[in-house]
Amino acid sequence: MDDKVDVESLHYFYRGLSEIVGVEAMLKIYNHYKGTQISVPLHLYDRNLSKEKIRVQYDGTNARELSHKYGYSQRWIREVGRNKL
């Protein structure tokens, strides 16, 4: 499949995407989303879905570690961790 795609002639977006995920995966993304405006969220993890995990994992000393893991501020991690229900 990869040999049928002229990577050098691809739109810059698809060329970059193919470099990141490979041509086959790029084609899957293209075929699934072509023509759709896509906005990529800043955070990998959903804020509401992460809250419960953070509440379980927070021990009062690991806000920095959880901040790096989930991509939210240490302040927010502490607030969520302290509000265990």
Q: Mean pLDDT score of the chain, rounded to an integer?
A: 93
**What pTM value is reported for the model?**
0.67
Q: CA-CA distance, 80 to 78, in Å (whole number)? A: 5
What number of other Cβ atoms are within 10 A of residue 70's Cβ? Answer: 21
**Predicted local confidence at residue 83, as pLDDT:** 87
Instruction: Report CA Rg, the chain.
Output: 19
The sign one gets for the Cα dihedral 51, 55, 57, 59 is: positive
> Quick check: 85 pLDDT over 80?
no
